[in-house]
């Protein structure tokens, strides 16, 4: 993908792959093409996509125009309308409005996942907005004002949902706090996956500890049952169970 000269409106892309299925959240199991942008304002301790976050991977990223990105999406989807999952890094750092507008003209739909640290007016043009504020185990602090602004920017355009990764009791308490702040939004609790840190050579290990993931799932199910928290949805990451920590699936 190299050799493209930077220009106004171009988007920093880490990878485009699919079709596969969405492994997480409200669209779990839904066929999709992933468009992963490069660059992030966060440094989560357990980040599973550091190759789309750290500046040392910047040489792997490519500046692409919306046209180039949609040409690649159409090549992968055979030009059949498909759900495009905008992920990162933090895709809210990129100027995605023209991509979304042109993609929707071609019949595609768009879901975007972000931690909710950078509101963008074009959130309103999405079909789905997954807001994933990061729990204490990430080492990051939540900017509630920015998260409020993300929700306000989306308004009634997309279906907006919350998704919180939960590794432990402290994360669970954080998720309860998030839910109580935004009672109108559905909330998804996602079992934490302690993926080994990746390097330039790839994942620390391509095999995930699926037993640990399912143990975490059972624990979370027990928690919501005990607390009668029946409005939460509890899910593991299906792609981790199916493909471990491998990229491109």
Q: Which residues are annotated as a binding site for Mg(2+)?
A: 49
Find the angle CA(57)-CA(42)-CA(173) to the nearest 5 degrees.
Answer: 140
Least distance (Å) between residue 230 CB and a copy of itself: 4
Residue from 34, 61, 232, 237 touching a copy of itself (CB under 8 A): that is 232
> How far is Cα 14 from Cα 36, in angstroms, rounded to an integer?
5
Contact with a copy of itself (CB under 8 A) among 204, 207, 225, 248: 225
User: What are the beta bridge partners of residue 84?
Assistant: 33, 110
Smaller CB separation from a copy of itself, 76 or 124:
76
How many residues touch a copy of itself under the rule CB under 8 A: the total is 34
Tell me the pairing of strands 31-37 and 11-21: antiparallel
Two tokens, residue 94: 């990129």
Q: Is 20 in the site for a copy of itself (CB under 8 A)?
A: yes
With respect to a copy of itself, which residue has the nearer C-beta, 182 or 243?
A: 243
Residue 214 touching a copy of itself (CB under 8 A): yes
72 three-state secondary structure: helix
Q: Give me the least distance between CB of 24 and a copy of itself, in Å please.
A: 10
127 sits near a copy of itself (criterion: CB under 8 A) = no
Of 1, 124, 185, 238, the one binding a copy of itself by CB under 8 A:
238
> Residue 111 in 3-state DSSP?
strand
Which segment (53-61, 88-96, 192-200, 228-236) binds a copy of itself by CB under 8 A?
A: 228-236
The answer to whether 126 and 161 have CB atoms below 8 angstroms apart is no
Shortest CB 40 distance to a copy of itself, Å = 27
163's enclosing H/E stretch is strand 159-166
Piece of the chain touching a copy of itself by CB under 8 A; list 41-49, 67-75, 177-185, 232-240: 232-240
Buried b (16+ CB within 10 A) or exposed e, 161-200: bbbbbbbeeebbebbbebbeebeebbbbbbbbbebeebee
Instruction: Report in angstroms the alpha-carbon separations of 97 from 52, 93, 232.
Output: 20, 11, 31
Using CB under 8 A as the binding rule, whether residue 229 contacts a copy of itself is answered as: yes
| Residues at the contact surface with a copy of itself, assessed by CB under 8 A | 18-21, 28-32, 77-78, 80-83, 188, 214, 217-218, 221, 224-225, 228-230, 232-236, 238, 241-243
């Amino acid at each position: 993908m190299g050799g493209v000269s930077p220009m106004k409106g171009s988007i920093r892309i880490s990878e485009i792959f699919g079709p596969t299925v969405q492994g997480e959240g409200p669209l779990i199991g839904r066929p999709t093409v992933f468009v992963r942008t490069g660059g992030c304002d966060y440094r989560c301790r357990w980040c599973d996509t550091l190759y789309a976050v750290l500046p040392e991977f910047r040489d792997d990223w490519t500046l692409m125009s919306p046209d180039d990105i949609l040409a690649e999406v159409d090549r992968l989807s055979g030009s059949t309308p498909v759900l495009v999952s905008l992920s990162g890094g933090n895709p809210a750092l990129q100027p995605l409005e023209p991509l979304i507008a042109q993609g929707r003209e071609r019949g595609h739909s768009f879901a975007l996942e972000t931690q909710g640290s950078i509101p963008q007016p074009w959130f309103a043009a999405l079909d789905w907005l997954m807001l994933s504020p990061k729990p204490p185990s990430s080492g990051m602090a939540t900017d509630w004002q920015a998260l409020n602004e993300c929700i306000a920017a989306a308004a009634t355009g997309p279906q907006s949902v919350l998704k919180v990764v939960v590794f432990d009791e402290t994360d669970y308490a954080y998720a309860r706090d998030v839910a109580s702040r935004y009672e109108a939004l559905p909330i998804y609790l996602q079992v934490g996956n302690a993926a080994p840190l990746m390097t330039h050579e790839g994942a620390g290990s391509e095999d995930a500890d699926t037993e640990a993931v399912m143990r975490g799932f059972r624990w979370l199910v027990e928690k919501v049952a005990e607390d009668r928290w029946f409005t939460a949805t509890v899910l593991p990451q299906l792609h981790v169970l199916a493909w471990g920590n491998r990229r491109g699936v």
